[in-house]
Each structure stands twice: as structure tokens, then as C-alpha cells.
Chain A
């Protein structure tokens, strides 16, 4: 098969419509009557894009993600897989029929819920993680690219109904990944609406928070030695001192030095390098990694949203809350090269005396 025919075949198979679910095939608008004076404006590709996915595909999707009890009808799943950009396309070709329900509201709610669950889980799991890294980790776990990837892995790509929108002066272009990302968010919101907050959290935990994320690559250092000195001072320990632990080949073309950083008797971290400076830098980085990436074990992990009741009922009645012991708040992170822009200097605001002096000067 040549590449042109291969591409035609793949695009045709993506648009393939199951004819068993249609009332009439070929559709009325496709049939050309030569005796009537009406011109034929039928475009098969547009027609195929407008057809809803078959009920069997939607119920199979619900079973595949394990939510057959929650997403009870195919209409609910169809709504979750319809992006708001589809409404304009539908209105253009079927102006008299009602607009199909979209996942816009559900996606908004689901996005907020996912952000909540991811933030509290990551904060409870990594209590010493710097703020910027925590925000980046939340994006990595429940951000747009991850949601699009999860939708693809669920098999929602042939079920998605959307319409590509180019860049306009008022809004950026709508991408396929953004439309896909709305599907898992809508499903999270549906789980919350049909079941409870706890069930929604379990859903997000199993599909998003147990995926592989490399946190180490998100932690960037400008001067790890200075950051380590300030952090150790904040925790009230002795000033860190670096010591050469092992070395080999000092005067050869490939030396190896192993440097350890100690605070009194405790070794904070260890690093290797082909020069003393490099080894000391790596040791400081290692010490800070060991602090920032401290992880709470899963059996000790408790999140604030676990206090919400799992049953649906009156939230003002006492006795429905689950027990919760809040984690001990650790030391806040140091201000050097962490949250806040330490480079940028804000313009100095004039003091009250200076303002009054100016006013008096003007009066005089």
C-alpha cells in the first residue's frame, strides 16, 4: 500500500460509522434525486463526524474503566465524551434539533476536584517538597497532557466528539489533546455526583496518582551549598562541613573523589565527581534531595478530604465525619532560590514622611 492510500484508509477507518445503530443508511440527505431541482450539498466526512458513537462502544468503555455501576446509561457516557466545541458544528448542520449535552460543566468540576486530590496527596506524601516543585508535581500528575494520555489509554479517542478550532484574535487554537483531556475530568465529576467524594478520590488515586513521575528532575538548584547551609541553620543543627571520604587517581586523567557533607556527627549527603568542587556540589545536591524527597509511607498517609462523609446525607449533622489526625507541620522552606522571585527587586514605596515632605514642599 502506498502512503497516500494508507492515509486515506486510516482516516476513513477513524470516521467509520456503525450502520446497525442508524435508522436509515444511506441517510436521506445523501440520496441525490435528479428530478428534483434541489442541489446536493452532502459531504460524507462531515456527516460521519456528526454521528454519535454507538451505544455498545459507550457501554464497553464504561466497563473498561470499571465504572459500569456509576455510568449507568450510555447517554451519560456520551455526554462525558462530547466537548463543547462540538455544539457549533452540530448547530450548523442540524439547526432545528436540540444541542447535544456537553462535558463543559463536568470537566470544570472534575478539574477542580483533581487539583484538590493531587495537591493534598502530594503535600501529605512529600511534606518537605519546595512550593514550586509541589506545583509542578501537581501539574505532572493531573495536568492537561496527563489527562489526554489517560483518555487515550482508556480508549476514549474514537468516542470523542469535538470540532477543531483555529486560533482567533480572542482565543488560542483548540488542540486534540485539550479536547481529550476533558473526558477524564468529566468522569471524575460524574463519580463525585453519582457516588461520593471518597469514591472520586479513589478514582483519581488509581488512575492518576499512581502513575510514574520523576520528581528529582523537577528540583533545580542555583547554589545547593548555600541553600544547604541556610536549611541546616533553619533546622537548628550544626553548620555543614564537607569531608573527603575516598579518592582515587588524583593526578591521572580520570580522578574520582567521594565527598560527604556532615552536620556534626551526622552525614547529610554524599557525592562523587572528577574534581573536589564537583564532588562537593553533588554532595550538597544529594543532601537537599534527601530532605525534599522524604516520603510518608502509605500506611501513615492521611489527607484532609478523608474527613468528608462517604455517605450522602445532611452535612450539618455531627457524627458523619471520619477521624483524622493532622500531620505535624515541618519547617517552611528557605527563601533562597525557592518560592518567590529572588532576582526581581520591587520598586521601593515612599514612606509616610517622604510623602508629607513632598506635600509640604509643594505647598511652600
Chain B
């Protein structure tokens, strides 16, 4: 009986982030603000007072500060999966801006998935205790 050939150059392994080494998913955060408009005031305060401390605490992230006059303040996070998340900052206080920057730092960049409604849970590893078998019990069921 002939078996299907395995093409070695097409073989690959699948990620297990955190099993031994952990790779943070966020790579860059861009803060855009306007120099004049009052909606950017809290963002400007955050940038001048707290941003350096946040950047020192997260050396794996590239922080970019971008002046964009005439536009609303924005925090944009770039992730390793190629996606980006954009959060508008005009209605927040200074600690609110920090909270949103922390949200971007903690996120993985993946799309937000439904946790309950209509979600199929599928595992990549086999069952730890094995699948139940009616033929492998002490007293099998009798009709």
C-alpha cells in the first residue's frame, strides 16, 4: 500500500507563546495630538509628564509622538500580527489617557471574538483524560 510522500520543506511547527519564552505582541504605539485645540490638552499633559515613565517601563515597544494639527488626539497601537488598534483620546482625563495606552500595551492585536454566543471551542492538543469509551468501562451499559 503506497503512502503519501512528506515534503520536508513544507513542514512547520505552530506557536506556543509563553510555554518557554514570551514574545509581547505590541511593537509600536503612536500618539497623535494637536498643538492648539483644547481637546488635545490632556493628551499633551500626558506626553510631557507621564509618557517617558511608561516608555521606560516598556522597552520592547517603540513610542512615537506625532504632531497633527487640526485633528483629534489618537493613540494607535501596531501589533505583531499586522493589525493595528486606534483609540480616540479627546474625552479622557490624563489618567484616562494612561489607561487607554495601557490597554493598547496589554492587547494582542487580535480581533475581538464572541465568548459565549455561537462560539465553537476547538483545541489543538488532545484530551488530557482521553475520550470516554463505552467498551472500556468495568460494567458496560445493558439495554
Which residues of A pack against B, CB within 8 Å?
A: 18, 54, 56-57, 59-61, 63-66, 68, 135-136, 139-141, 143-146, 149, 152-155, 157-158, 205-208, 210-213, 218, 220-223, 246, 248, 256, 258, 272
Q: Which residues of B have CB within 8 Å of A158?
A: 27
Is the interface on chain B under 10, 10 to 19, 20 to 34, or 35 or more residues? 20 to 34
Residue of B nearest to A145 (CB): B12
Interchain CA distance A212-B123 in the complex, whole Å: 12
Residues from 2 to 28 in B contacting A, C-beta threshold 8 Å: 2-4, 6, 8-17, 19-21, 23-24, 27-28
Q: Counting CB contacts under 8 A, is B59 at the interface?
A: yes
The answer to whether B13 and A60 touch across the interface, beta carbons within 8 angstroms, is no
Taking a contact as CB atoms under 8 Å apart, the answer to whether B59 and A60 are in contact is yes
User: Which one, A136, A143, A211, A258, contacts B14 given CB within 8 A?
Assistant: A211
Could you say which of A57, A140, A145, A223 contacts B28, with CB atoms under 8 Å apart? A57
Closest CB of chain A to B67's CB: distance in Å? 11
Which residue from B6, B13, B16, B80 sits with its C-beta under 8 Å from A146? B13
B64 at the interface (CB under 8 A from A): yes
A146 neighbours in B (Cβ, 8 Å): 12-13
Asked if B62 contacts A205 (CB within 8 A), the reply is no
Q: Tell me if B62 and A153 are in contact (CB < 8 A).
A: no
| Contact (Cβ within 8 A) A140 B12 | yes
Q: Supply 8 further A-B pairs (C-beta < 8 A) apart from A56-B63, A144-B9, A153-B17.
A: A135-B8, A140-B13, A143-B8, A149-B15, A154-B23, A208-B13, A210-B21, A220-B4
Can you list 28 A-B contacts with CB-CB less than 8 angstroms, sorted by A residue number? A54-B62, A56-B64, A59-B59, A60-B27, A60-B28, A63-B59, A66-B21, A135-B8, A136-B11, A141-B13, A143-B9, A145-B11, A146-B12, A153-B15, A153-B17, A153-B23, A153-B80, A154-B23, A206-B21, A208-B13, A210-B19, A212-B16, A212-B125, A213-B13, A220-B4, A220-B6, A256-B135, A258-B136
Q: At the interface, is chain B mostly helix, strand, loop or mixed?
A: loop
B61 at the interface (CB under 8 A from A): yes
B93 to chain A, nearest CB (A): 28
The CA-CA distance from A275 to B44 in the complex, in Å, is 74
Tell me, yes or no, whether B1 is within 8 Å of chain A by CB. yes
B118 at the interface (CB under 8 A from A): no
Q: B11 touches which one: A64, A66, A139, A205 (CB < 8 A)? A: A139
Bound complex: CA of A154 vs CA of B60, how far in Å? 11
Is B10 a contact partner of A63 (Cβ separation < 8 A)? Answer: no
Check if B124 is an interface residue, CB within 8 A of chain A. yes
Beta-carbon contact of B12 and A143 below 8 Å: yes
Determine the chain A residues whose CB is within 8 A of the CB of B70 once the complex forms: none
Q: Is the CB of A207 within 8 A of B13?
A: no
The distance in angstroms between the C-alpha atoms of A126 and B46, with both chains bound, is: 55
> Hey, which bits of chain B sit against chain A, CB under 8 A?
1-4, 6, 8-17, 19-21, 23-24, 27-28, 59-64, 80, 82, 124-125, 135-136
Q: Which residue of the partner chain B has the closest CB to A246? A: B135
**In the complex the two chains form, is A136's CB within 8 Å of B6's CB?**
yes
Q: A144-B9, A153-B17 are in contact. Are A68 and B59 (CB under 8 A)?
A: yes
**Do the beta carbons of B60 and A63 come within 8 Å of each other?**
yes
Closest 7 CB pairs of A and B: A211-B13, A206-B21, A145-B12, A220-B3, A64-B60, A140-B11, A63-B59
Given that A141-B13, A211-B14 are known contacts, is A155 also in contact with B2, CB under 8 Å in the complex?
A: no
Whether A212 lies near B14 (C-beta < 8 A) is: yes
CB-CB under 8 A from A154, the residues of chain B are 23, 80
- B contact residues around A149 at 8 Å (CB): 12-13, 15
B11 shortest CB reach to chain A, Å: 4
Q: Given A157-B82, A212-B14, do A60 and B61 touch, yes or no (CB 8 Å)?
A: yes
Question: Are A145 and B9 interface neighbours, CB within 8 A?
Answer: yes
With A and B bound together, what is the CA distance between A57 and B63 in angstroms?
Answer: 9
The closest CB in chain A to the CB of B19 belongs to A210
Which residues in B have their C-beta under 8 angstroms from that of A143? 8-9, 11-12
Cα distance A18–B124 when bound, in Å?
Answer: 40
For A216, the closest partner residue in chain B by CB is B126
User: By CB atoms of chain B within 10 A, which of A68, A139, A205 has the most?
Assistant: A139
Most buried by A among B2, B4, B60: B60
Query: Contacts of A145 on B, CB cut-off 8 Å?
Result: 9-12
